[in-house]
Amino acid sequence: KNEVEQSPQNLTAQEGEFITINCSYSVGISALHWLQQHPGGGIVSLFMLSSGKKKHGRLIATINIQEKHSSLHITASHPRDSAVYICAVSRFNTDKLIFGTGTRLQVFP
């Protein structure tokens, strides 16, 4: 079983829809990251969370440490949001990241 699991693996949406991507992990962590990888391959760090909730524009990330679960929400989705969204965790006392397998999102106009 992977230490970091994401769902769904693939997601399609119509422009304007509210989107949720889930991440569950099974190890102790110091932080959880949400990353965005565009078709060209470049990766952008969206959020780093250790508790609670963060918001940036139309993106919201939440984490529940007790349940070892995080969600990434996209409000008013747009075709330019189409990308692979990756959840990754940092374990205690290490800078290494453990990655989920990613969620491939396609938003159609």
Partner 1 sequence: GAVVSQHPSWVICKSGTSVKIECRSLDFQATTMFWYRQFPKQSLMLMATSNEGSKATYEQGVEKDKFLINHASLTLSTLTVTSAHPEDSSFYICSVDRGGNRGTQYFGPGTRLLVL
Q: For residue 77, give the nearest of 8, 7, 20 by alpha carbon.
A: 20
Distances (CA, A) of 71 to 47, 55, 67, 93, 95: 11, 12, 12, 24, 22
User: How many residues make contact with partner 1 (CB under 8 A)?
Assistant: 20
Question: Sheet containing 52-56: which strands, arranged edge to edge?
Answer: 4-7, 19-25, 69-74, 59-64, 52-56
Cβ 50 to partner 1 shortest distance, Å: 9
Cβ 99 to partner 1 shortest distance, Å: 4
- Window 29-68: contact mask with partner 1 (x via CB under 8 A): -xx-x-x----xxxxxx--x--------------------
- Window 62-101: contact mask with partner 1 (x via CB under 8 A): ------------------------x---x----xxx-xxx
The number of beta carbons lying within 10 Å of the beta carbon of residue 12 is 13
Of 7 and 30, CB closest to partner 1: 30
